[in-house]
Structure 1
């Protein structure tokens, strides 16, 4: 089998444009395995060179059969026009992506160079197989510069199991299609070892109109399927490493960019994970690990980063946002329950149903340590907070009939509020007689019943206000203390009444 792979490698290196492209180094288990991308020196083959080629007609047919047998082709889609082209046509002739002979150069709109480099080599854990797939695409005209364009190289190689892959990019409407783009994806599958696969994605775009946005497409499957789409805002020279652990629901991610520009990257990991990861204000280098399930989330990094991270769970109206990334964060979720551990006070942790326009969210900041929040945001509900002093908590919920907003800065380690917003209802507050440095609660139900409490400094010990509506009568028990102004009002049948 090794001889077959080596044979295929030799044929590929003879037939494809040759250049000093990719090398894979491995030193020891404790060091990072490094993918070096050296000088994309592709040999550009003009149409006139093809005429001088020594390949006969029969030889060209045999080459075409070879590529068809190993399953290689180039897929393009331009403004809805899709086609598959053979590797030889894409390299020697170019591709007419819009079926219009008057665009591009001699009717050809893009030219492609491809190298696929399978390597068998020995590292500390033993012999491994790696695949480096290099794709270079050159836009040959100006007419199609801002169209909706997708291109990828697809194929399969058999070694122990079938390895199927797609590598390419997508440029949306009104964004410049790069004049030239070089993309290298290296896959380390570790097929004989109990070790997570590794994917290295290196991007080098060249634009004429300044920095533009585009997306990288990467799909790989052997015994498992991995499909990643990476959106770059904007696209600059960068390298991303992804190492997924499907069994433990973990993603190890490292990002390195080679341009002094603010950048946002969105990674859409489909199939096994079904999540979207957005990193805003990316530093020059960063690495982190995400662990997640329906009821669990963990973030681990070697350093703090002044950046933001958004995780959107596919199939759920549920997302997480971190502002100022800590070294470590853990969150456990349940129905009306969340446990949070954060080791950095600057971090703001938000759980919401939508990133841009949330109608439900819970936000925690100024936490160094752990906290537990329990809640039930209904007509009869409660909020119980146990945790670090200084915690800033905000809970918001909006429906067609109900408005709920709580904001509090806790100097207390314990805080509890319970309510029953009805004709014969009550509200109960307890802080173990420790101070809340700021407190605001606003609940309204169908603009008929409600509670509004605001105070800069407030503490309470089993404080309870009960009421009846006809006539409005309030019964007060327990202790409450506040400094400065306070608003404490109850809405009954659409009319607000001050308790004191």
Structure 2
């Protein structure tokens, strides 16, 4: 029913320009397989939208805001429809000095659903660019208004085009808000964007802001790279730090979408290589998130949640993945798809802290020393076959580790002082492509490289700064092995 209402509004916009309330005011202003060492994701290449901080407040009526290359103005709705808007204050551009025309339509309805009669608010806006002179400038246009119905419902919708990107020749946007005023249900937001370009698909961002005394303020921003006809539903669960997202695209174009939500919580999701249709839910709490979908998707998802200290990325989206950072140096991950690659890092480009896991089907728990100093450890428990990569760089400390853990338990502990020791245990099972390079201040370090390695309570000890190594337990390897310890800035080979 909600989707049908959006389609009807789009059809109305295509056939005739419809006006909202006349009231207006002037506003002065300005204004699957990856190689090691890759950046966390492509999101570093995506531009940000320069949305203005425009709030309608509690005023009744409808208003249109335009910002073009820093020139900001508010135009009465009726004028924007019949006369157009001069967005650049230049009477020689556009058609008769007008650069865009706007059609708007607001439709509050009571619609029948399985739960009974439900109040919905649908807002539609069509923007037509006139002329070519303002085609590639930085441009933002928003429609804002408020409607009284069992309280005041205030909204803002609009779109943004960055400098150098083609402003759509025509942009049709329909937003439907379902606040479920009379029901104990979470609100739903439907955003349909349908751009028309002259020179192929370009990037566009859209915004939806909605506020009501009963449900608070919600803000959804969506960046399309590039923009094609797309319907997106966002359903936040109030008080639970959870929301559902469904996406339906109507063009076979490779696309990345970034969705930002701010309300009861704040999160930004960047989805790369989106399929034609997908739906999923995400739950968040402090240093915890959970993703669940009805199907697996050959797509990637970047997660930036305000309550988590690190960024996360999922490559090849599974049916289910849950990640828990209980404390510093603890990570629990549970997923059902071996092809999924999970990454956490402190930033997206050139991270100083980086952890990547793949080939996991089930649960694994990793613990590590967070200081990475002369005394430390790594333990891994869980699924056999997990591939793990960890990197950390801070000051003069460098830590680089990767291995295929073909065992349900692995443990590495070190004490790089004098006297000192190293402990390795793989439950007497093999590790493949094992690599560890760890140095501190170019004074202490460990270097281990082997194509195949297994250990059973292996201990390496030394008593002096020029060490004589003593070993106990078992350590086996296939082919050549590099095993060296740095003490006071000098590397010593364990097996010479």
* TM-score normalised over the length of structure 2: 0.88
- Give SS of 1:288's match: strand
In the alignment, which residue of structure 1 is the partner of 2:40?
Answer: none
Count of residue pairs the alignment pairs up? 457
Asked if the contact 1:410/1:438 (under 8 Å) is kept, the reply is: no
In the alignment, which residue of structure 1 is the partner of 2:133?
Answer: 143
Structure 2 CA distance for aligned equivalents of residues 113 and 300 of structure 1:
39
1:126 offset after TM fit, Å? 1.6
Structure 1 CA distance for aligned equivalents of residues 248 and 111 of structure 2:
26
In the alignment, which residue of structure 2 is the partner of 1:265?
Answer: 257
Q: Say which is worse superposed, 461-470 or 67-76, in terms of deviation.
A: 67-76
In the alignment, which residue of structure 2 is the partner of 1:473?
Answer: 468
Alignment match of 1:287 (pick from 257, 275, 279): 279
RMSD: 2.2
Structure 2 CA distance for aligned equivalents of residues 34 and 295 of structure 1:
39
Determine which structure has greater relative contact order: mean sequence separation of CA pairs < 8 Å that are 6+ residues apart, divided by chain length.
2
In the alignment, which residue of structure 2 is the partner of 1:30?
Answer: none
Over residues 119-176 of structure 1, what are the superposed CA-to-partner deviations in whole Å (9 max), with x where a residue is unaligned?
1122221221001100000111111111010001001111112111100000000000
Asked if the contact 1:339/1:371 (under 8 Å) is kept, the reply is: yes
Q: 1:69 to 1:436 in 2, by over 3 A?
A: closer
Over residues 34-83 of structure 1, what are the superposed CA-to-partner deviations in whole Å (9 max), with x where a residue is unaligned?
853553424259xxxx9xxxxxxxxx9x9548999732100111111111
Alignment match of 1:103 (pick from 70, 89, 93): 93
Asked if the contact 2:376/2:414 (under 8 Å) is kept, the reply is: yes
Over residues 83-121 of structure 1, what are the superposed CA-to-partner deviations in whole Å (9 max), with x where a residue is unaligned?
111111111111111111111111111100000011112
1:405 offset after TM fit, Å? 1.1
Q: 1:315 to 1:143 in 2, by over 3 A?
A: farther
Q: Say which is worse superposed, 184-193 or 422-431, in terms of deviation.
A: 422-431
In the alignment, which residue of structure 2 is the partner of 1:24?
Answer: 2
Q: 1:297 to 1:65 in 2, by over 3 A?
A: closer
1:422 offset after TM fit, Å? 2.4
In the alignment, which residue of structure 1 is the partner of 2:44?
Answer: none
Find out whether 1:298 has 2:271 as its counterpart: no
> Which protein is bigger by CA-based radius of gyration?
1
Structure 2 CA distance for aligned equivalents of residues 350 and 185 of structure 1:
34
Over residues 245-270 of structure 1, what are the superposed CA-to-partner deviations in whole Å (9 max), with x where a residue is unaligned?
13111110011111111000001212
Structure 2 CA distance for aligned equivalents of residues 225 and 330 of structure 1:
28
Find out whether 1:194 has 2:172 as its counterpart: no
In the alignment, which residue of structure 2 is the partner of 1:20?
Answer: none
Alignment match of 1:426 (pick from 421, 424, 429): 421
1:437 offset after TM fit, Å? 2.2
In the alignment, which residue of structure 2 is the partner of 1:43?
Answer: 16
Alignment match of 2:339 (pick from 325, 330, 346): 346
Find out whether 1:416 has 2:394 as its counterpart: no
Q: Which runs of 5+ in 1 are unaligned?
A: 1-22, 26-32, 51-59
Structure 1 CA distance for aligned equivalents of residues 275 and 22 of structure 2:
46
1:371 offset after TM fit, Å? 0.7
In the alignment, which residue of structure 2 is the partner of 1:161?
Answer: 151
Q: 1:209 to 1:397 in 2, by over 3 A?
A: same
1:194 offset after TM fit, Å? 1.0
Structure 1 CA distance for aligned equivalents of residues 361 and 309 of structure 2:
28
1:317 offset after TM fit, Å? 4.4
Asked if the contact 1:262/1:282 (under 8 Å) is kept, the reply is: yes
Find out whether 1:357 has 2:330 as its counterpart: no
Structure 2 CA distance for aligned equivalents of residues 389 and 35 of structure 1:
49
Asked if the contact 2:239/2:264 (under 8 Å) is kept, the reply is: no
1:419 offset after TM fit, Å? 0.7
